Structure 1
Amino acid sequence: MPPSTVPDTPSVPLVLASASPARLATLRSAGIEPVVVVSGVDEDLAVAEATERYGVLEPADVALLLARAKAEDVAARVDEGGVVLGCDSVLELDGEVHGKPADAAEATRRWRRMRGRSGVLHTGHWLVDDRGAGGATLGATASTTVHFADLSDEEVDAYVATGEPLSVAGAFTIDGLGGAFVTAVEGDHHNVVGLSLPLLRELLADAGIGWFDVVGGVDQG
């Protein structure tokens, strides 16, 4: 039987409502070349308004709330005729929500709490089918337990000085300089990068979209 080939152009374009290079790289490694459109959502304001309306949110709910806000903001501004994916990640430590540190001092304090311990990285995923009226809008949160190495004060200071912890949720990466400080994960490791490929596949399926409908240019032979 001759090999089959996925068309160079996917039948359903995917718009990524995120500026994250790690999320973009994750999708590209899976054969998806999204259109990137960064949302204009004020995250602090969105969480404050939801908290005033519904009360204190669980960490996983914060991630999903922001993912939905980003996806819906971008879907209202683009006309790609595809699906829009919004994502947001937060780290849960001692029941508290932690996003990107505000500054180096906060990153240092957080790492001195995290070291030698475990936290849960929650990534909210929200999908908006923007192909026409009545399209699906749905989402879910993936959660992965992350175990951190017991860093010395000198290692914490040196890592924070690189600037990497200031640009990522939870103040760490698993696919960058911070990878040396993650001793184990329980769950989907893609989720720690910021986008769970298995969850995205499930959401697409729930919207009636096959995985290879969003993949292009990959030889299956």
Structure 2
Amino acid sequence: MSKTKTRTPFVPYITLREGEDASSAVTLAARPRGFKGGGLYYTDEGPGDRDDRGVLWARCSQSRQHNQLLGTPSWSDVHPSRQRECMEALLCQGCVQQPSRTSLGYLFLAAPPPGATTTDWIEGHHTAQPPLCLKHAVVATERCGHLMREGAVALRSRVPRLYGVLGTLYESNGLAPPQPMELGPEYDDAPLSYKVRRHTPWILASQLVRELRGVTVVNLAEEVAAGT
């Protein structure tokens, strides 16, 4: 009797794994606003804790062994460092290799905003999802629950420019550790632009966001068939 092979589920590189825990709180501190502009810092801050625009990033452990990621995936969460790595270098979020790129630009997948009836939203769309190679774009449309529910749209962007970050805004708490600011639910998924300099020193970033410009909607199945 032949045995049925069990398909090993593909886990995107940026997906958070069991055992990978945030490790920012212990060493997170804040300078008062009147002191050199104020802002968050780590008491043991080192290279890599800030991006090129000076924003502080959340720390999170990594479950790696011999450069292989281990642990059960937490499908709805992304790892801050790995998401940042892929988004900064424009690498495929699935395999950390070069994403699909044609004369129309880099390949991204996005879900339409609630209530959208046209594609007017695509130009200037803000995304925290790094680009994809063709192979893993297909996998994402087949297995990503969010994209399956909302309806994935394949986009190509000629200019996916850096926009800002998603994260948690903090405020100074005197000599005590800084505390997260209480914001309304409308701010939960709103990225902070790098241009808002009064807030960027006070955000602990967890995802890098790009603004898609020069956008074209493409047919993913046709591109796969054509091998583009």
TM-score (norm 2): 0.24
* Larger-Rg structure: 2
More strand by share: 2
Structure number with the higher helix fraction is 1
